[in-house]
Amino acid sequence: MNRMRRFGIASLALLCLLAGTGAEALGGKEKTKELHIEEAFAGKEGTMVLKNLKNDKVYVYSKERSKERLTPESTFKVANALIGLETAAVRDEYEVKRWDGVEREFESWNRDHSLASAMRESAIWFYQDLARTIGEKKMNEYVSRIEYGNQDITGGIDSFWLDSSLRISAAEQADFIEKLVEEDLPFSQKNQKTVKRMMIQDEQDHFILHGKTGTRLSDMGLGWYVGFIETEKGTWVFAVNIDGTGTEAKNIALEVLKEKKILKK
């Protein structure tokens, strides 16, 4: 085997390895800088990816962890809502599904919900029912089209994102959210605008914060917070995960956004 051919095979293998970790989401033309926010994680393992969409600067805490694929938990509701709207499995953000009467972990889940209220309260049963309505074939098609993490939905149509087969890195989460901000996903602009509106968690004179938490409920050992913040000076996307809860991940994101003077009350 000649030298050029060996070089080509080695290069291809390296590219495949990078693709498997989500590293490409932090590559390209972006300027990556290290985030020094150890204190915010209070001794727990985790990562944060923060990107300024105005100048493409990326700030990362724990770069290796940012490439590690983990189960998305309830942050997948963002993609699930987009797919549900695009496939007409749900008419709009106001369509209501009736509560089945089964008592679940959180009182706020035990009532009728719309697509928007179930996003806000993170009512898993609503989005599980939505996934069943979408069906395995269409779900698989769209998860592949949006290149969502490892694109593996074999863990069951109503549970593949919950401590199961689907996995995604923080770098890939930030990339997905950036495409949503830019309305560059394979969904109608109307549906992308709808989901971005559903993600609003705080709206003030100087900023609008859009986000979604996720927690691995089996052991509270994995928490996510992903989203973006629109300010007068530009838009930033972020993705945080921690060996903890979604609430902890959200608190870290807000603390860093305030420290960086991105979020100003």
pLDDT in tens, 235-263: 999 999 999 999 999 999 999 999 999 99
Burial 142-161 (b: 16+ CB within 10 A, else e): bbeebbbbbeebeeebeebb
Query: How much is the mean pLDDT over the chain?
Result: 92
Report residue 264's pLDDT band, with 50, 70 and 90 as the boundaries: confident
Position 12 scores a pLDDT of 39
Half-sphere exposure of 152 (CA within 13 A, CB side): 15
Kindly state the percentage of the chain with pLDDT values over 90.
88
- Whether the pLDDT of residue 117 is over 90: the answer is yes
Neighbouring-strand partners of residue 242 = 46, 223
188 catalytically annotated: no
**Once rounded to an integer, what is the mean pLDDT over residues 195-205?**
97
- Please report the domains of the chain, with CATH numbers, ordered by start residue: 31-259 (3.40.710.10)
Those residues whose C-beta lies under 8 Å from the C-beta of residue 237, and which sit 6 or more positions away, are 50, 51, 53, 174, 177, 178, 181, 227, 228
Long-range contacts of 110-115 (CB under 8 A, 24+ apart): 115/81, 115/84, 115/85, 115/90, 115/198
Question: Of 62, 66, 74, 122, which is the active-site residue?
Answer: 74
Token reading at 153? 């939905």
- Whether the pLDDT of residue 1 is over 60: the answer is no
- Whether the pLDDT of residue 110 is over 80: the answer is yes
- pLDDT tens, position by position, 148-164: 999 999 999 999 999 99
- Whether the pLDDT of residue 27 is over 50: the answer is no
Position 25 scores a pLDDT of 54
Position 140 scores a pLDDT of 98
Q: Helices (DSSP H) in the chain: which residue ranges?
A: 3-21, 63-66, 77-86, 115-121, 124-134, 136-145, 170-181, 189-198, 246-259
**Once rounded to an integer, what is the mean pLDDT over residues 173-181?**
98
- pLDDT tens, position by position, 127-148: 999 999 999 999 999 999 999 9
How far is Cα 142 from Cα 243, in angstroms, rounded to an integer?
29
How far is Cα 191 from Cα 90, in angstroms, rounded to an integer?
11
**Once rounded to an integer, what is the mean pLDDT over residues 60-72?**
98
Burial class of 11 by CB neighbour count within 10 A (0 to 12, 13 to 18, 19+): exposed
